[in-house]
């Protein structure tokens, strides 16, 4: 009886180790888009694993760009701003808006990248194209949380789905 339990335990352990060895990593980003009516602006924060972002920046620019200890902070800022602007698009009330880069910071294994859109009076419709990291990770998912006039909406886009629309 004990020998059978030991055999079952060893088989289970081997199966778990095999599964873990072949398990695929999980790729996800989170983007929060908040309308701040008192400042008449949309504030955007993108949360990406910094190592995934470095992979994308290298493929996009052809250069190794370090985010944690950048050799040249302005080059890193420029690369991040360019990459995210090309892969995250925002239209408010059917008008395309340019994302103004504010900066980034590292928190543990995550890069928080900040953008804003100024001179926004109100929002009735928001259209978003979010294809962050899609070219680099086929199983990428992008979660978005939107807050406009205290109305909160969320969605998840799984590669290749990249477009979301919201009515307020």
When pLDDT is cut at 50, 70 and 90, the band that residue 7 belongs to is very low
The answer to whether the CB of 48 falls within 8 A of the CB of 111 is: yes
Identify the pLDDT of residue 72.
93
At 79, list the tokens. Answer: 């690369």
Res 39: pLDDT: 97
- For residue 55, what pLDDT is reported? 96
The answer, yes or no, to whether residue 12 has pLDDT greater than 50, is no
Looking at the predicted structure, is the pLDDT value of residue 75 above 90? yes
Checking if the pLDDT of 20 tops 50, the result is no
Q: Locate 154 and state its tokens.
A: 């969320």
pLDDT score at 107: 94
Q: Which residue has the higher pLDDT, 60 or 22?
A: 60
What dihedral do alpha carbons 148, 152, 153, 156 form, nearest 10°?
110
Six token digits for residue 25: 């990593």
Determine the average pLDDT of the residues in 79-97: 98
Residue 19: pLDDT band (50, 70, 90) is: very low
What is the rounded CA–CA span in Å between residue 155 and residue 148?
14
CB atoms closer than 10 angstroms to residue 92:
20
| Spatial distance between the Cα atoms of 51 and 65, rounded to a whole number of angstroms | 10
Q: 51-84 in b/e burial notation, b at 16+ Cβ within 10 A?
A: ebbbebbeebeeeebebeeeeeeeebbebbbebb
Q: What percent of the chain has pLDDT over 70?
A: 86
Which has the minimum average pLDDT: 24-33, 71-80, 148-157?
Answer: 24-33
pTM recorded for the entire structure: 0.83
Q: How far apart are CA 34 and CA 63, in angstroms?
A: 33
Nearest in space to 158 (alpha carbons), one of 67, 28, 39, 40: 28
Percent of the chain with pLDDT over 90: 82
Which region among 32-41, 58-67, 119-128, 148-157 has the lowest average model confidence (pLDDT)? 58-67
């Amino acid at each position: 009886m004990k020998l059978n339990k030991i055999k079952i335990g060893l088989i289970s352990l081997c199966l778990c180790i095999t599964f873990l060895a072949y398990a695929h990593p999980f790729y996800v980003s989170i983007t929060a888009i908040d309308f701040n009516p008192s400042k008449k602006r949309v504030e955007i924060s993108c949360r990406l694993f910094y190592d995934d972002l470095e992979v994308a920046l290298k493929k996009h620019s052809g250069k190794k760009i370090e985010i944690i200890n950048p050799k040249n902070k302005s080059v890193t800022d420029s690369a991040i701003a360019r990459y995210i602007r090309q892969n995250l698009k925002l239209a408010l009330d059917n008008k395309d808006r340019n994302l103004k880069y504010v900066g980034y910071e590292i928190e543990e294994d995550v890069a928080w990248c900040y953008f804003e859109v100024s001179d926004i009076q109100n929002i009735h419709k928001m259209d978003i194209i979010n294809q962050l990291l899609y070219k680099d990770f086929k199983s990428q998912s992008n979660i978005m949380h939107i807050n406009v006039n205290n109305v909160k909406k969320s969605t998840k886009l799984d590669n290749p789905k990249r477009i979301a629309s919201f009515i307020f």
